[in-house]
Amino acid sequence: MTTPTSAETADAPAAAPARDDRPAQASWREVALYAAGRAAVAGRRAAGVVRPIGWVAIGAGALLWVVGLWLGWREVTTAAVVVTSVVALCLLFLIGRTTYDVGLDLTRTRVVVGERAVGALSLANSGQRPILPSRVVLPVGAGRGVFGIRHLAPGEQIEELFAIPTPRRTVLPVGPVSIVRGDPLGLFERVDSRDEPVDLFVHPKTVRFDGQSLGFVRDLEGMISRELARDDISFHALSEYQPGDDLRHVHWRSTARTGTLMVRTYEQTRRSHFVIGLSSHPGEYADPDEFELAVSAAGSLGLRALRDSYRVDVRTQAGTLRTDSPRHLLDSLSGVESTRPRSGGTAALAGAIAAAAPAASVVVLACGSRVPASQLQAAISRLPADSRVLAVVAALGEEPGRRRIGDADVVTIGALDQLPPSLRRVLG
C-alpha cells in the first residue's frame, strides 16, 4: 500500500463543505421578528394619537362603508365618504413639528402650606418657519394646566406666568412641559414632552420657640451616662493604674499618699441625641388635619433642636427621615404619608426607636388624640430608661393640657401656636 506524497496531497482538491441552510433560515426568522416588533411599536405610537372620539369616528366610518357597500345604499356610502374625508382632514393637522424652545422656571421650589408657588413658562420659536397656534400642557401633581399659545413668528418669544395653590403639605412634581398638537374637532392629539419635571416641596407649618434652647439638655458636651471612661470631662473617682492608661490622668498626690499609682476615672458623656417619633398610623388621628398638626409639631421641635446643634433623628413607622439640615428635615416631612395599620402604632414606633437609638438623650413622641392612655404608657415604657421622654398629643380644637404618665411629660395641643407655651410649662 502506497501513501500519497506531499505534492499529490497539495494537488488534491479540497473536500467541499456540506451546505447548511439553517443559518439563513434563522436569520430570516430574526428579520421577520424584528420587523414585526417594529411594526407593533409603530402601531402603538400611531394608536396613541387617537382620542376616544377619534376611535368613535373611525369605527363609525368603517361601519358605514360596510353597510353602504353591502346593501348598496348610496346615502350610507355618501355618509361614509364624508366621515372618511373629515378623519383624513383632521390627520393633516398632525403633520409637521413644533420647534418650541421651552423653559420652566419656578421662583421657589420650597413653600409653606398656604403660600402660592409662582413660576414662568417661556416659549420661543427658534426655527425659520412660523408655528401655528397650539396648546401647552403643564402637569402639576395629579392635575394639569393648559395654556393656549398663539401664532409665533420665527425668533418670537412669549412668557406665560402661573401660580400653583398649595392647600396641603406634599411634594408636587411640576412638568414635564408637553406641546399638544391636534385638530379642531379633537379627534387626534400628538403630545411632545419637553424639559424635565421639577419637584415642588410644600413644607408643613412650623412655629418658632422663644429663648436660646429647648432646655431639655443644658450642658454643652452632652448628657452624663452611667458608663465609666478613662478620658472624658465629668470626674467620677480614682482607681489603680491599668496598663494602657494615659499617664496624663495620674493623680500624683494620691499616688504619693498611698504608694500606688492612681489615675482619674470619668463618667462618660455623650453628645445630645434628639429623637422624634412621629406616628403615621391613620387610626390614631381623628382626621387628616389632626395628622397635619402632629407633623407641624414634629417639624417645629426638630428645627429648634437643629438650631441648638443637637443630633436630630426623626422616625415614622415607614422609616427614618433625612435630617442633615433644616431644609432636608422639612423636605422629608413634606413627603410623609399615613402608613398602613399593619405597620403598628405608637407602641411599635417606640420599640423601633429603642432598638435604633438606645443612647438617645431626649425622645419626643408625636401622636393623635385617639391613642388611649394605656397604649401611650406602653409606648413610653419601651423607650430607653436613661432618656428624657416627652409626648405631644395632637387633639385639634381642644384646650392645651399637661399630665404625667410614668416618668414622661405628656402635653396636649389643639393648635400649633399652643406648643411653645406648653413646653415652657413642662420645662419651667
Instruction: Mark 182-214 as b/e (b = at least 16 C-beta within 10 Å).
Output: bbeeebbbbeeebeeeeebbbbbbbbebeeeeb
16 confidence band (pLDDT: 50, 70, 90): very low
Is the pLDDT confidence value at 319 over 80?
Answer: yes
**Is residue 228's pLDDT more than 50?**
no
Confidence of residue 72 (pLDDT cuts 50, 70, 90): confident
Cβ burial, residue 241 (10 Å; 0-12/13-18/19+):
middle
Q: What is the residue extent of each domain of the chain?
A: 47-92, 100-203, 223-270, 273-427
Please check whether residue 99 is in contact with residue 179, taking contact to mean a CB–CB distance below 8 angstroms: no
CA distance 391 to 401: 12
Q: Label residue 330 by pLDDT band (50, 70, 90).
A: very high
Query: Which pLDDT score is estimated for 5?
Result: 45
Res 253 pLDDT > 60: yes
Residue 224 pLDDT greater than 50, yes or no: no
Q: What cell numbers appear for 320 in the block?
A: 427614618
Q: What is the DSSP string of 329-359?
A: HHHHHHT--PPPGGG--HHHHHHHHHHH-TT
Q: Report the pLDDT value the prediction gives residue 383, as an integer from 0 to 100.
A: 94
CA 423 to chain centre: 31
Q: Which of 244-258, 324-338, 414-428 is the least confident region?
A: 244-258
Q: What is the pLDDT of residue 226?
A: 43
Q: Write the single-letter amino acid at 142.
A: A
Task: Give pLDDT, residue 227.
Answer: 45
Q: How far apart are CA 419 and CA 412, in angstroms?
A: 9
> What is the Cα gyration radius of the chain?
37
pLDDT at residue 114, as a whole number: 93
Share of the chain above pLDDT 90, in %: 41
- The reply to whether 273-427 shares the fold of 100-203 is no
Using the predicted structure, report yes or no on whether residue 428 has a pLDDT greater than 70.
no
What are 360-405's pLDDT values in tens digits? 989 999 999 999 999 999 999 999 988 899 999 999 999 999 999 9
| pLDDT level of residue 4 (50, 70, 90 thresholds) | very low
What is the CATH architecture assignment of 100-203? Sandwich (2.60)
- Put simply, whether the predicted model's pTM sits higher than 0.75 gets the answer no
pLDDT band at 153 (very low <50, low <70, confident <90, very high): confident
Summarised one tens digit per residue, pLDDT across range 160-219 is 899 999 999 999 999 888 888 777 888 887 777 766 788 999 999 999 987 645 655 444
Q: How far apart are CA 127 and CA 134, in angstroms?
A: 16
Report the range of poorest mean pLDDT among 108-122, 195-209, 258-272, 307-321.
Answer: 258-272
Nearest-10 crossing angle of helices 373-382, 346-356: 10
Contact 191, 45 (CB under 8 A): no
Q: Report the mean per-residue pLDDT for the chain.
A: 82
pLDDT tens, 276-317? 999 999 999 999 999 999 999 999 999 999 988 889 999 999
- Return d(Cα 362, Cα 377) in angstroms, integer: 17
Q: Which listed CATH number (3.40.50, 3.10.20, 3.30.70, 3.40.1710) goes with 273-427?
A: 3.40.50
